[in-house]
Amino acid sequence: MSMFMRLISPAVLIVLLGVGMSSAAIVPITGVNAGVNGKPPYMLESITVGDFTITSEFLALGKSAGSTFPFSNIRYADDFNLNTAAIRNGSGAWRVTNIGGLNTYSDINGEDPDFFLLEVGMNDPVVVRAILADGTLGQAIRISKSAWGDTGLDRVGILGGGQPIGGIAFAITDLLDAGGQPLAANTAIRGLQFNSENMDPVHFSAAMIPEPATLAILGLGGLLILRRLR
Ligand SMILES: [Ca+2]
Ligand SMILES: [Ca+2]
């Protein structure tokens, strides 16, 4: 995190997040900044969707549950390390909850995209349902495999090595309630359930403003380091 970002208030952050507005929809991720000159090891720094770019400070991770192929781990989706991927093969549903460490997630950026999903191969469709605040499920939305955008990164590793890493972004208002209607922009959800049992997630995150307490701790940590250096 830059010193500039540490010093500005959450209110200012909201304004900054509004820069580069793009209408929410299910859209391809058009670029991911990671690695050195685009070469591995890949640590995610920012995600771009058209004219909208979000940096990792504003991306909250979740807590994944579900099965994977042997020697893989579903929690590989829950970090900024894009060298690890949760390789799956008829592995059933994948659920992500506890986004940003919170019980529920709500939109913070208006029309800008809320959810960011990266997958090995760009070759699997996505079926996703909202896990509503009461734990029940919304109806499924189905996203064709042609929707993946090429991030420009290729998977390194034994499972799925050499395959392109694709990305899609979508908003909470793209998800459906139990009656099949789009969720209202102010809906609080517990998380997401992906029923696409062959999709191989590399990363999942949601747009979130860092907590003021977190920013304060980061700032304080910086001060302590400076004091030690004296
Ligand atoms: Ca949004
Ligand atoms: Ca795949």
pLDDT tens profile 109-139: 999 999 999 999 999 999 999 999 999 999 9
pLDDT tens profile 49-68: 999 999 999 999 999 999 99
Nearest to 79 by CA among 61, 97, 98, 101: 61
CATH number of 3-229: 2.60.120.260
Domain locations along the chain:
3-229
pLDDT tens profile 131-160: 999 999 999 999 999 999 999 999 988 888
Could you tell me the distance, in angstroms and rounded to a whole number, from the CA of residue 188 to the centre of ligand 1?
12
Could you tell me the distance, in angstroms and rounded to a whole number, from the CA of residue 105 to the centre of ligand 2?
27
Contacts (Cβ under 8 Å, ≥6 apart) of 153: 32, 34, 35, 38, 42, 82, 164, 165
Residues within 5 Å of ion ligand 1, judged at the Cβ atom: 107, 109, 112, 114, 171
Contacts (Cβ under 8 Å, ≥6 apart) of 210: 10, 13, 57, 58
